[in-house]
Structure 1
Amino acid sequence: MLYSDELPEDLIYSQIPGCGCEGPCVDPRECACLVRSQGRNYSQAERLLLQLQSPQELLQRPVYECNSACSCRLDTCVNRLVQNHLEDTSALCVFDAGEKGRGIRASRNVSQGEFVCVYSGLYLGPGRARALSASQLATCGHVYVLVVREYAGVDSRLVFETTVDGACDLEDKQAPLPLACLINHSCDPNLTVIPVRVDSMLPYLAFFALRGIRADEELAYDYGEKSCEKGDPSNISRLTCEQIQMTIHKGILLLRNKERVY
């Protein structure tokens, strides 16, 4: 991951406290990282995200993996998944998606709740997203800026906003786009974006499977996903999924946006 100079150093480098576990980190009453996550994150055998298992939990929970300050063993800890597969795109396969341009298919079967890939790129400060998206749209006809907003509390206040430019190397004509940038929008998505924190409060934006996905099926997520219907946590006008679909076809979508309410 790359970080913009405008991001405060304490945001990037301040260490989240670790756990004192000696076992596999499966008990949310004892593991400090699971306490922070308000429960276990992954199944012990398959390493599937429990929040996305059927029946799905009614409430969203933050995801904190164990980190470099933890005393648990790297080879036995169950709460280390995304951090071990940051460069893994083995489940992704590029294909020609017709009028949508390039898209991504599953190279193999994917289980519900399985980690698929990370949206990698340059982390930006708040307020940069819209102008950068407009610039990308004007120069290359696509937008590769992903914004994830997290809300918490009874009043659903904004507590964190993460912005990642997936096309930070776009000026280098020889540099290929990260494959996650090519995952298209759908009103019936099979992926969702989950912020996963490890060492710092700046999370990895990880794609997980909402349901079982067959090999060769196109991978897609909702560019305007709102994870919780508990009121309207912001005063930003929000497009419906169908409206987003239309704006993409017209080439005027300015943001890939995800809202998550805890």
Structure 2
Amino acid sequence: MINKLYFHHVSFMFFRIFFFNMTGSLKENRRLIIEDISNGLEKFPISLIYDDIKEFEELQNIFHKYVVNCVTVPGADSSSYYDGCDCKDDCKSEDCGCKSIHGFFYISRGLNPIFLQSNSIASNISIYECNSNCSCSPDKCPNRLVQHGVSLPLQIFKSDSGCGWGVRSHTRRIRKGEFVCEYAGEIIKTDEAKHRWIMAKEINEDNYILCLREHVKDRVLRTNIDPIHIGNIGRFINHSCDPNLQIFLTRINSLIPTAALFAKKDIGVNEELSFDYAGGVNDNSDIQEININVERKKCLCGSQYCKGFLPFDLSL
């Protein structure tokens, strides 16, 4: 089970941009647009739209590497997930080994809406997709979804909420249950996460470490994802106390989970995407336990359910 999900000590005013080939498509038509900051790494383009060339020049000076999936750093456990099914019908039958052991969560190439009823992160769900050891077709198997990456054209833009950069679908609506993207970055150990948090605080720099906790019997499994140096489109998605996306932990070829973001509801064209950095857990009960020297960041989501402050991981 997952206990809590924290996205700690965030400031939205950090210049959140990835380094990309500056000779790529850049055009001006009232607003300035970079057509694909992933440089073709994603199946669908990730565009960036902005107004001020000076703002763009500032972003140029920050180097970040775009990756499609999480990467592990030295010292992090990258144990492979080895079992797989031997289906010859692309896992259409109910006796698929992966389905019978782990369950089946997808319908019509999206998440079954029954799993989207909870307001919090699905604490008792871990999705296991068919993997490289399965005999089913990577393209036709219905139990392969997150591993195919971003599922629609997305755009980075300056949010009107005052939260800096945000993400939206600018060409079509997103249907409930549809996979949007994962939250990709470096997988780091907890000691390294603490070290990076301290270093960022000392130089007044923001960090974006996502801490996932799973309770398995008497053990707590923790996964730390840091996209500050290496990351994907997921790191641009802002927090909301009433989000339209929800995280599900998904395992594909590794015991390390992927933080997969699915649509909690139908999302309109140009509606800003968001997820709850606390996974739906009301962490305001922890405010009194936080050392007074720890500065809480004000939440700007504007929701009627706003908790006032951004979630904060007390263990860092």
**TM exceeds 0.5?**
yes
Name the CA shift for 1:88/1:94 in 2 (closer, same or farther; >3 Å).
Answer: farther
Alpha-carbon offset, residue 204 of structure 1: 1.6
The answer on whether the counterparts of 2:127 and 2:250 sit within 8 Å (CA) in structure 1 is yes
The normalised TM-score by structure 1 is 0.73
- Tell me how far 1:249 sits from its aligned partner: 2.4
Specify whether residues 26 and 56 from structure 1 end up closer, same or farther in structure 2 by C-alpha distance, changes over 3 A only. Answer: farther
| Counterpart Cα distance in 1 of 2:286 and 2:167 | 20
The separation in 1 between residues aligned to 2:204 and 2:91, in whole angstroms, is 45
1:247 to 273, 291, 296: 296
- Secondary structure at the residue paired with 1:103? strand
Where structure 2 has 5 or more consecutive residues not aligned to the other structure, the ranges are 1-69, 289-294, 301-308
Q: How far 1:142 sits from its partner (Å)?
A: 2.8
**Larger Rg: 1 or 2?**
2
Percentage of pairs with the same residue = 30
What is the distance in 2 between the residues matched to 1:31 and 1:241? 44
Give the structure 2 partner of residue 15 of structure 1: 81
Q: Distance in 2 between matches of 1:158 and 1:25?
A: 32
> Aligned pair 1:181/2:245, yes or no?
no
CA distance in 2, matches of 1:19, 1:40: 13
Deviation at 1:51, TM superposition (A): 5.4
Q: Does 1:164 align with 2:225?
A: yes
Match of 1:24 among 58, 74, 90: 90
Do the aligned partners of 1:195 and 1:206 also contact (CA within 8 Å) in 2? yes
Matched, 1:106 2:175: no
Query: Aligned residue for 1:34?
Result: 99
Name which of 247, 271, 291 aligns with 1:217.
271
Q: CA–CA distance in 1 between the matches of 2:285 and 2:209?
A: 19
Paired residue for 1:172?
A: none
8 A contact 1:33–1:66 mirrored in 2 = yes
Task: Work out which of the residue numbers 134, 157, 177 in structure 2 matches 1:94.
Answer: 157
Answer yes or no: is the 8 Å Cα contact 1:94–1:179 preserved in 2.
no
Q: Alpha-carbon deviation of 1:138?
A: 4.7
CA contact 1:25–1:78 (8 Å) conserved in 2: yes
- Would you say 1:207 and 2:261 are equivalent positions? yes
1:79-158 mapped onto 2 (5 Å cutoff): 79-85=143-149, 90-107=153-170, 108-139=172-203, 141-153=205-217, 157-158=218-219
TM-score, normalisation: structure 2? 0.62
8 Å contact 1:130–1:255 — kept in the other structure?
A: no
What's the offset of the Cα at 1:122? 0.7
Q: For 1:249, what is the secondary structure of its paired residue?
A: coil
* Residue in structure 2 matched with residue 48 of structure 1 by the alignment: 110
Residue type at the aligned position of 2:112: L
Distance 2:233 2:204 in 1: 16
| 4+ residue segments displaced more than 4 Å | 51-59, 240-243, 250-257
Instruction: Name the residue aligned to 1:232.
Output: none
Aligned equivalents of 2:312 and 2:198: distance in 1? 9
